[in-house]
Amino acid sequence: MFNFTIRRLIFTIPTLLFISFVIFFILDTAPNDPTGNLPLTIPPEVREKIRVSLGLDKPMFFRYLLWCQQFFINEPLNMIEQWFDITIGDGERLRVQSWATRSPVVDLVVERLPQTLWVVGMSYVVGILIAIPIGVISAYKQYSWFDQIGTFVSMLGFSVPTFFTGLLLIVIFSVQLQWFPSIYDTTLRVTDWDSFVLQVKQMIMPVMVLAFFNAAQISRFMRASMLDNLQQDYVRTARAKGLKEKTVVLVHVLRNSLIPVITVIALGVPQVFGGAIITEQIFKVNGLGQLLIIGIQGADIPLVQTLTFIFAVLIVLFNLIADILYGLLDPRIRYD
């Protein structure tokens, strides 16, 4: 198991490097000009100077290596410096700069990260908490009315796109009933009970939209996994021993059924971040997804490159976590 983990970890490094190169390559070969959005009155020689100042006169491979150095070496060193309050070397390092805001990309990301994590994380937790009981009950009472309705609702959950459920919720709860605000206010600080209530109110809709989508998928997996386990011999043994039905289902079956579901949950995390791009756009949450959209619209290549790569890191990382967790939790699956 340890060997496997090490091998997988080592394999992720070329994978990530390759992905970062693919992203860089796509962004670079694209036929568009970063100075294209500037006013037409700027004379061509100034335009050329702007291009040079952005580092665009260098060959592509050189710029890729520069980005790698900035992202993989300089930024982590900066982070270590900030955390431990020490200086390494002369402390003067080039950082990945956003073209639009002229500030380091990583600072922008750090600024936006909490909102995304709150909304996305909360929705995932809520989704899991809804999905597991539904999955357990629909498997235990297979083909009952509860199961039928559950199947239909989960079909609905992954057929109806989040941008429609989001808008629908806004129409119903913000426009018609006026219960919740339709725009997420990120300047709100939770200091007392009232502001806490406000925070909960503005989080309900974005969280629910994502949670519904997640719950739909996870509850299907939970149901299938429960059904597999309920047929097993050890369940009959447990019942024959005279264990209470509750113990059999909730301790013996549930624990074993959760093993594949946990890997599914881990694999779903990056997907949820992707879904958050849309949800953030609907509810005007200023998180990472919105930052990406702004970057794309403003042709801010370094920002887009870094953010897209962070999404890729999330995918690779959670794939790794899922693989390792599966091996750790299920003794039948040991990779060596």
Contact residues toward other proteins (CB under 8 A) are: 15, 18-19, 22-23, 26-27, 30-32, 152, 155-156, 158-161, 163-164, 167-168, 170-171, 175-176, 270, 274, 277-278, 281-282, 292-293, 296-297, 299, 304, 307-308, 311-312, 314-316, 319
Residue (of 223, 330, 226, 316) closest to 266 by Cα position: 316
CB of 272 to other proteins, least distance (A): 11
Q: Provide, rounded to whole angstroms, the least separation between the CB of residue 105 and other proteins.
A: 14
Q: How far is the CB of 269 from other proteins (least distance, A)?
A: 12
CA nearest 331: which of 3, 8, 9, 1? 1
When the beta carbons of 77 and 294 are compared against other proteins, the nearer one is 294
106 vs 282, beta carbon nearer other proteins: 282
Distance CA 188, CA 175 (A): 22
C-beta closer to other proteins: residue 238 or 268? 268
**Of 86 and 175, which CB lies nearer to other proteins in the complex structure?**
175
Q: CB of residue 214 vs other proteins: minimum separation in angstroms? A: 16
Cβ atoms 254, 230 nearer than 8 A: no
Q: Which of 44, 159, 112, 143 is nearest to 287 (CA)?
A: 112
DSSP secondary structure of 49-80: HHHHHTTTTS-HHHHHHHHHIIIIIIHHHHHH
On the CB side of 5, CA atoms within 13 Å amount to 9
- The answer to whether 329 and 125 are in contact (CB under 8 A) is no
Residue 315 vs residues 164, 170, 309, 328: alpha-carbon distances, Å: 25, 30, 10, 20
Q: Decide if 308 contacts 292 (C-beta within 8 A).
A: yes
Nearer to other proteins, 31 or 89 (CB): 31
Minimum CB separation from other proteins for residue 129, in Å?
Answer: 25
Question: Shortest distance, CB of residue 323 to other proteins, whole angstroms?
Answer: 12
Nearest CB to other proteins, comparing residues 158 and 199 = 158
Name every residue whose Cβ is closer than 8 Å to that of residue 46 and which is 6 or more positions away in sequence.
none
Q: Which is nearer to other proteins, 259 or 311 (CB)?
A: 311
Angstrom distance (rounded) from CA 121 to CA 16: 24
Cα separation of 111 and 315, whole Å? 21
Least separation in angstroms between residue 281's CB and other proteins is 6
Smaller CB separation from other proteins, 81 or 158: 158
CB atoms inside a 10 Å sphere around CB 187: 5
Q: How far is the CB of 195 from other proteins (least distance, A)?
A: 26
